[in-house]
């Protein structure tokens, strides 16, 4: 999978694309307003549990998604971003959780580290971390990215010891060379073992490099691609919510 993914991303990795993504500026420590309405969707899921729909919003536990433009849903409507698709899956599975999408376009691991304390002011049940894509594009040393991720994880745990933490596997594009890409890939499972957090599959598995599943920039999933991304995350996230 990794070899095919690299080949696909190499096709999408022109200089103009890299400059466009790297130039995106974080919007500051803000989270996109979350949506908890169950909408009709062709995504495969169980029949909606009427009992869950009646659960007061305040009684639902919170799942916080931290991430880059890939989590924010750049180029899509808010309800099309994969965290909001996962909200539909949560509702259909009869689980009493609400999703908060705190993705910020252009953010690096150091940017997430700077704002994570602000995001931890709310009571959380699960935190899903997606970052590193912009670090890879900018050639941030892998050790620096891993150190940032470690601090993020430890700050979350320090603030809320009972929270479940999931780290999404990310891959570097091949523009920085194979040795960098290999070290980048290895950083995520190593860190998940060291910090005892759940490792989720590569976010863009089955989507990266496929022109039919991405927007014109070749990097951000379109609506169809986003549904695959949601399934990638949901398969590993669902057991944590149960």
Q: Which domains does the chain have, with CATH numbers?
A: 2-241 (3.40.50.1110)
The pLDDT of residue 129 is 98
Annotated active-site residue in 35, 69, 105, 192: 69
Annotated active-site residue in 49, 117, 205, 217: 217
- Tens digits of residue pLDDT in 214-232: 999 999 999 999 999 999 9
Query: CA-based angle 59:236:219, to the nearest 5?
Result: 105
- Tens digits of residue pLDDT in 154-180: 999 999 999 999 999 999 988 889 999
**Confidence at 115, pLDDT banded by 50, 70, 90:** very high
Q: Tell me if residue 220 is catalytic.
A: yes
- Tens digits of residue pLDDT in 4-39: 444 445 444 433 333 344 434 444 433 433 333 333
The three-state (H, E, C) secondary structure of 4-35, written as one string: HHHHHHHHCCCHHHHHHHHHCCCCCCCCECCC
Q: Tell me if residue 198 is catalytic.
A: no
Whole-model pTM: value is 0.80
Annotated active-site residue in 92, 109, 210, 220: 220
């Amino acid at each position: 999978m990794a070899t095919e993914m690299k080949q696909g991303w190499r096709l999408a990795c022109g200089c103009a694309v890299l400059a466009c993504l790297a130039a995106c500026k974080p919007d500051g420590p803000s989270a996109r307003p979350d949506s908890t309405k169950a909408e009709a969707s062709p995504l495969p899921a169980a029949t909606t549990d009427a009992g869950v729909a009646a659960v007061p919003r305040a009684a639902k536990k919170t799942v916080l998604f931290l991430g880059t433009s890939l989590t924010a849903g750049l180029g899509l409507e808010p309800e099309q971003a994969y965290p909001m698709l996962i909200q539909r899956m949560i509702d259909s599975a009869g689980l009493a959780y609400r999703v908060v999408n705190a993705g910020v376009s252009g953010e690096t691991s150091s940017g997430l580290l700077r704002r994570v304390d602000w995001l931890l002011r709310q009571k959380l049940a699960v935190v899903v971390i997606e970052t590193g894509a912009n670090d890879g594009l900018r050639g941030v040393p892998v050790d620096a990215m891993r150190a940032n991720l470690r601090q993020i994880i430890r700050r979350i745990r320090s603030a809320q010891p009972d929270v479940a933490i999931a780290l999404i596997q990310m891959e570097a594009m091949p523009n920085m060379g194979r040795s960098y890409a290999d070290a980048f890939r290895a950083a995520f499972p190593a860190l998940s073992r060291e910090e005892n957090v759940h490792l989720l599959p590569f976010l863009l598995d089955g989507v990266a490099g496929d022109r039919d599943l991405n927007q014109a920039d070749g990097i951000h999933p379109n609506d169809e691609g986003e549904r695959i991304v949601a399934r990638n995350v949901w398969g590993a996230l669902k057991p944590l919510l149960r």
